Each structure stands twice: as structure tokens, then as C-alpha cells.
A = this chain, B = another copy of it.
Amino acid sequence: MTADLAELDARDPLREFRDLFQLREGLIYLDGNSLGAAPRAAAARVAEVVKEQWGEGLITSWLGADWSTAPQRIGDKIASILGAGPGEIIAADSTSVNIFKALTAALSLRPARSVIVSEATNFPTDVYMMQGIEAFSGGRVRAVTVAPDAVLDRLDDDVAVLLLTQVHYKSGLVRDMAEVTRQAHAKGVLVVWDLSHSAGAIPVDLNGAKADFAVGCGYKFLNGGPGAPAFIFVAERHQAAMPVLSGWFGHASPFAFEEDYRPAAGITRFQCGTPQVLGLAALECGIDLIAQADLAQLRAKSLALGDLFIAQMEARCGEFGFELVSPREPGLRGSQVSYAHPHGYEIVQALKQCDVIGDFRTPDILRFGLTPLYLRYADMVEAAERLREVCLTRAWDKPEYRTRAAVT
């Protein structure tokens, strides 16, 4: 086994990427789906922004260091890995704020319809943002959530927009973007895709799927840093929609200081306030790494890592009551493997003491993110073995692992 593993890692076409990340030897980091590891380039890039561009260049760096075009430039790089065209994605704001922009733009394109549909178990911020729109609309908009498998049946003539996450944050189940979009369009419904657990994790073909809008997060599989700027995709055919968050950086001529809002052409109107320069600099380091990788190799390795981890969990932890909640079938699984276990919380805490970082999601989910850019096949075996040791010692009976604090 050890020899086979060594050969798997030695033959891995992505093996050289690991050295481009800051990862302590011994640590097995299976939480890249919460916060991706730091690209080694990020420290120097951010230091340059702080010391040279801000410190020396001061205000002149908006043009001189291309701060003003970073959101579009980085957006185009993200587009290149998501099957979108240049000028269809911009890096800006948070995922939550971008959900608001996408939903309200979609509503404006379907003025005779009033309902936003999502699945009840969607990532909470998606649903919360829908509910905020409903509350503000004074009865014009309704936010409706249904069971995951009832989503398509719920689409009727009153539904303006469907909001779905492509890869479910707990289970890792992948939805068929092209097929769901096709069925929604057949009923006149626009779709907003949340790609937070897709971007950099699985192949995405936004234009191939005829997607309308999408949003996603910069700090997970894109390795953009804590609280990195998020992104928003608006298909070129929808870019005439008016953004509700009509801030000055979305204006056609921000420095003309005109009295009335006049939206910029293209994706820029979906920018709102001043770009987050420091966060963008770190994000670009992460994007640049993903953009160098072969996306098919990335997907193949991600699934192979998952298959190996599942097999190792069966072999080493089969007797401890873990229930696989991610799809076993690779084609339906994102870049994560999740298990349910009644002592899930305590096990995740105990694992941290063994230098394996995963995360816990209520009520009982252990979630292991598999980032193919920096994980090794050997890590899958070692993680399952350390998990076995945690279970053998019945770590959940130890008081130090039982106090529940907020976990991210």
C-alpha cells in the first residue's frame, strides 16, 4: 500500500502545485472548502501592495498599479475557469451581497413574476438574502423554499428566479447545471447559481449551461484568503439589467461625479463601492494558481482522492458508525466527502489535536474538503488512520472535546 501510494503521488500531474502553498509538514488540511490554504506568492504580493503601491505610490496607484481595473481583470481570470467569457464576471463584495445583486437583477428581468424559489437546505446565506428581499419588497416578492427534490416542480408562471447552489455545502452533491437551467428556462424562470463550492473544485461551464447569473466565494477552492472578495457572473445577454446596488464604482463615469446614476456598460455595473484592493491582491494569487492547472486533471484527482478516502474510511473506520452522506458515485460528488456521526463535533475537535483539520456542520456532519491542488494521496490514508485512532480512544468521552464553541 505504501509503495502504491508513493507511486500515486509521484505520478500525480498536479504534484508540483503543493509546494506553491504554505502548508506545514505533518498537517493534513481537509478544510480548503472553508478556507483554502495560502499560496506562497500571497505574502510577497500583499506586501508589495501595502509597502510599494499604497505606501509609496499612494493615490497614484489607482491607475499606476492598476487597482482600478483589478476587479475586471481578476473577474476575467475567474471566467476562464468557469466557462464564462471575458467581461462576464467581476470580483467584488461578498457572496451574500452578490446574491442580492443577482436576485434583484433577475427580478427586474421578470417584472410580471414575483417568486424566488430555492431549496430549504441551501447554504443559509442564500436563503437569508432571499428573505431580506421579500421583507423589503412590501409584498411584491415572495421567497419560497422547498425540499431539494421538489425544486423543479415548484417552478410555475409566477416564479421569476431560482436560486441554487451547485455543490451542496454539507453533502457535496452536485446538481446538473445544464439540465436544471434548461428546465427552468422552459418555464420562463431565470437561475442564479451559487458556485461557492464549485469554483476551483469541479468543472463548471456557465455558458455551456446557458446560465443566467452566478455568484461565488473567493476564499474556498480559489484560495483567495480569509474574507476574500467574491465574484458575480452575469451572462452578457442580461447585462442591461439595472443593479439595485447602484454605487459609484458601477457608474459609467465614476470620476465625472454626475448627479444621476448612469450604469457602466457590461459587468462593471455590478460593482458597487470602492474595490477591496488588499483582498483582491491576495485573491489574484489564488486564482493565478488555479488558472495554471489543467481542470480535467484537477477533477480527476479530486475524485480519485475522494474514492481513496471513502475506501480507507471503510477499511479503517468501518466499525465506528460513520454514515457516508456524500454521493458514492463520483460524478455526483463535489470536491468533498462528508459523513454523519452522532459524535461528529467531538471527533472533529479531537482530530485537530492529531493535526487533521476538517470541519463540523450541524447537526452531525463531519466534512472533509479535498483540494486537489495541494493534497496528496498519502494524506487520504493518513487522515483515515488518524481518525481511526481518535475513535479507538473514544475521544468523544473526553470532556475537552465536548464543549461546543462557534466553529467556522
Contacts and interface: CB of A to CB of B under 8 A. Distances in A.
Interface stretch (A4-12, A41-49, A390-398): A41-49
Interface string A211-227: 00000010100000111
A96 B242 CA distance: 16
A197 to B, nearest CB: 14
Interface string A251-273: 10011111111000000000011
6 contacts: A31-B58, A62-B226, A96-B272, A97-B273, A100-B245, A124-B248
B245 A129 contact: yes
A165 to B, nearest CB: 13
B136 A104 contact: yes
Given A228-B276, A230-B273, 15 more contacts: A22-B51, A24-B56, A35-B59, A37-B58, A43-B51, A59-B408, A61-B226, A63-B405, A63-B407, A68-B406, A96-B245, A97-B273, A217-B274, A257-B361, A278-B278
A207 interface: no
Contacts of A68: 406, 408
Interface string A43-77: 10011011101111011111100011000000000
Given A248-B128, A273-B97, A38 B55 contact: yes
Among the interface residues A38, A59, A97, A100, which one has the most CB atoms of the partner chain B within 10 A? A59
Interface of A: 22, 24, 29, 31, 34-35, 37-38, 42-43, 46-47, 49-51, 53-56, 58-63, 67-68, 93-97, 100, 104, 108, 120-121, 123-125, 127-129, 131-133, 135-138, 140, 145, 217, 219, 225-230, 242-251, 254-261, 272-280, 282, 352, 357, 359, 361-362, 405-408
Copies in the complex: 2
A279 B46 CA distance: 11
Given A244-B132, A278-B226, A406-B68, A258 B124 contact: yes
A273 B96 contact: yes
B273 A276 contact: no
Contacts of A247: 94, 96-97, 125, 128-129
